[in-house]
Amino acid sequence: MKKADVVIVGGNVAGPVAGITVRRHYKDASILLIRKEKRVMVVCGIPYIFGTVGSPDKNIIPDALLSNNGIDFIVDEASSVDRAAKTLTTSGGETVGYEKLILAIGSLPLRPPIPGIELENVFLVWKDADYLAGMQQVLGKAKEIVVIGGGFIGAEMADECKKIGDVNVTMVEILPHCLLLAVDEEFCILAENKLAERGIKIITNNGVRAILGDGKVNSVELQDGEKLKADAVIVGIGAVPNTELAKKMDLKIGEQRGIWVDEYMRTSDEHIFACGDCAEKFSFFTKKPSGLRLASIATIEARIAGANVFELKRKNIGVIGVFSTAFGDFALSTSGLTEKAAREAGFDISIGEAQAPDKHPASMPNAKDLKIKLIFDKKTAKLIGGEISGGVTTGEMANIIAAAIQNEMTADQVTTFQMGTHPALTSSPIIYPIVNAAEQALFKLR
C-alpha cells in the first residue's frame, strides 16, 4: 500500500497549486497527487486551441510542475475513500494511505435537458485533451457552427471557431444580452458589437428548443421556432461541481451543490480539505453561497487549503469574482459586483465613470480607449465593483480594482492611491481613469 502525508485528488488547476503550497509550508511532507488525466489542460486556454493556439497539445500543463516541487503523482481515478482507515482506493486497484486528504476534483460541464443533445457532433466543453482533439477535427470540417451559451466560454468559443476558416458561427443566448451575468448592459453591447464585427451572428432573448438530426446533428431549433443549420454544436452554458466522490464519502454538500467547506477549506471531516470548482463558495460581499467558479478562485482556495493541512494559517474571505476576456484587440474585464448585482444584493450605490486612452499621449502607437465604471457602497464609501473595456491593459487593471475591493478601500483612498505611469504603458497620471472614476463617485457621495 502506498502512503503519503498529504494525498491530493485532482490534477487540474487547484490540485497542483495545493501540492506546491503544501511543499512550501511543510518541506518534509510526502505528497502524492492522483489524477485521471494523462495530460492536463490549461483550462482557461481551452477555447483558444481551436483558433489561436491550434492544438490541444499546445495547451498542456507540464508534469515537471509537480516533479520539480517534489510531488509524486499517479494517473488513476480515486473511486472510494475509507475515512475511518484514512485510505483511498483507485479504479486501478491501488490502495493509498493518507494523513491529510485534499479534494480538488473540479467541475463538469452543465448538460442541459435539450432533446438531441446526445447527437453526434454535439460537444460539451470537457477538460480532456483527446476529446478536444476529436472536437477540433469535426470543427475543422464544419461550415455551420452553433454555440449555445453567450457567457465568457461561449463567446470565446464562438470567436475562436470563426478563425478556423470559411465557417458561419452563430451564438445563441437566452438572456437579453451576452455576458450579462458578468457585466452591465452597456459593456455587453460593446462586446456584442465587436463580436458582430468579427463575423459572428448573435441571437439573444431566445433559447434552444431542440437539437435536430438523424444520428448526426443537422440543425438547431430555437424557442421561437427558427431553425439554424448546424454541422456542429458547442454547448457552453456553465459547469457544476464534481461531487460524486464526496457524496460516496458522506461529506456534507452545500446549498450551491459544492462540497461544504469552512473558512479554512476543511470539509465536514477535519482531515479532508476541498478546493477549486468542487468546493462550495460564498460571496465576499454578502457572505451568502455563491455559484462563481473560476480558475483564479481555485488557485486562491488551493493556497489556503495547502497552507492549512497541518496548521491553520489562512482564512477564506469569500469570492470577489474577477473576469477578463478579449476578442481581437478589444478586451473586457470586471471585478466584484456589477451595478445590477449590487442593487439586487441591497446595496445603495454611487457610480463613477471615466474614459481615457490607455497610453499617453493618445497619438502613441496602439493606444486604445479605456472605459471604466466603478461602483461604491454609499453607506461605507467602499469600492465594491468595477468594469473596464479597452485594450489588453484591462486585465491587469481589473486585478488592481480587485485588490482595492479586497482591502476595502474607500472612494477617497482609491482617488489618492499611488500609481506608476509611463507613456507607452499606461494612461496619463493627469486623467488616470481609476482615479477619475473614483473622484466622480466621491463627489456624488458627498
| Rounded Cα distance, 220 and 148, in Å | 10
Q: Each residue of 8-33: pLDDT tens digit?
A: 999 999 999 999 999 999 999 999 99
Q: Each residue of 367-399: pLDDT tens digit?
A: 999 999 999 999 999 999 999 999 999 999 999
Per the listing, cell 485510505 goes with 87
Which domain, by its residues, includes 68? Answer: 2-107+240-308
Are 405 and 357 in a shared domain?
yes
pLDDT at 8: 98
pLDDT at 443: 87
Three-state SS annotation for the chain:
CEEEEEEEECCCCHHHHHHHHHHHHCCCCCEEEEECCCCEECHHHHHHHHCCCCCHHHCEECCHHHHCCCCEEEECCEEEEECCCCEEEECCCCEEEEEEEEECCCEEECCCCCCCCCCECEEECCCCHHHHHHHHHHHHHCCEEEEECCCHHHHHHHHHHCCCCCCEEEEECCCCCCCCCCCCHHHHHHHHHHHHHCCEEEECCCCEEEEEEECEEEEEEECCCCEEECCEEEECCCEEECCHHHHHCCCCECCCCCECCCCCCECCCCCEEECHHHECEEECCCCCEECCCCHHHHHHHHHHHHHHCCCCCCCCCCECCEEEEEECCEEEEEEECCHHHHHHCCCCEEEEEEEEECCCCCCCCCCCEEEEEEEEECCCCEEEEEEEEECCCHHHHHHHHHHHHHCCCEHHHHHCCCCCCCCCCCCCCCCCHHHHHHHHHHHHHC
Nearest one of 268, 402, 247 to 324, comparing CA atoms: 402
Are 157 and 232 in a shared domain?
yes
For range 180-198, the mean pLDDT: 96
Angle between helices 14-25 and 295-308 (to 10 degrees): 30
pLDDT at 268: 98
- In the chain, the number of structural domains is 3
Are 204 and 259 in a shared domain?
no
How crowded is the C-beta side of 218, counted as CA atoms within 13 Å? 4
Are 102 and 248 in a shared domain?
yes
Task: Decide if 316 is inside a domain.
Answer: no
Are 152 and 206 in a shared domain?
yes
Cis peptide before 109 (omega within 30 of 0): no
pLDDT at 165: 83
- φ, ψ dihedrals at 430, nearest 5°: -70, -35
Q: Each residue of 428-438: pLDDT tens digit?
A: 999 999 999 99
| Rounded Cα distance, 352 and 344, in Å | 19
Are 245 and 158 in a shared domain?
no
For range 208-218, the mean pLDDT: 97
Nearest one of 195, 258, 183, 215 to 14, comparing CA atoms: 258
Q: Each residue of 51-95: pLDDT tens digit?
A: 888 888 888 999 999 999 999 999 999 999 999 999 999 999 999
Task: Decide if 321 is inside a domain.
Answer: no
Are 359 and 283 in a shared domain?
no
Are 293 and 394 in a shared domain?
no
CATH of the domain at 233: 3.50.50.60
Task: Decide if 322 is inside a domain.
Answer: no
Task: Decide if 320 is inside a domain.
Answer: no
Are 130 and 231 in a shared domain?
yes
CATH of the domain at 392: 3.30.390.30
Which of 182, 212, 237 is the last residue before a domain boundary? 237
Alpha carbon 88 to its chain centroid, in Å, reads 29
Whether the pLDDT of residue 146 is over 90: the answer is yes
pLDDT at 444: 87
pTM of the predicted model over 0.85: yes
Task: Decide if 149 is inside a domain.
Answer: yes
Which of 257, 278, 308 is the last residue before a domain boundary? 308
Q: What is the largest CA-CA distance in the chain?
A: 68
Task: Decide if 313 is inside a domain.
Answer: no
Q: Each residue of 284-298: pLDDT tens digit?
A: 999 999 999 999 999
Q: CB-based contacts of 283: which residues, under 8 Å, 6+ apart?
A: 289, 290, 318, 319
Tell me if 2 sits within 8 A of 76, measured CB to CB. no
pLDDT at 109: 94
pLDDT band at 102 (very low <50, low <70, confident <90, very high): very high
Are 102 and 128 in a shared domain?
no
Mean pLDDT of the chain: 96
Whether the pLDDT of residue 207 is over 90: the answer is yes
Task: Decide if 180 is inside a domain.
Answer: yes
| Rounded Cα distance, 249 and 95, in Å | 16
pLDDT band at 445 (very low <50, low <70, confident <90, very high): confident
Instruction: Residue 163: count other Cβ atoms within 10 Å of its Cβ.
Output: 15
Whether the pLDDT of residue 197 is over 90: the answer is yes
Whether the pLDDT of residue 446 is over 90: the answer is no
Are 347 and 264 in a shared domain?
no
Tell me if 273 sits within 8 A of 9, measured CB to CB. no
pLDDT at 51: 85
Are 198 and 267 in a shared domain?
no
Whether the pLDDT of residue 302 is over 90: the answer is yes
Task: Decide if 318 is inside a domain.
Answer: no
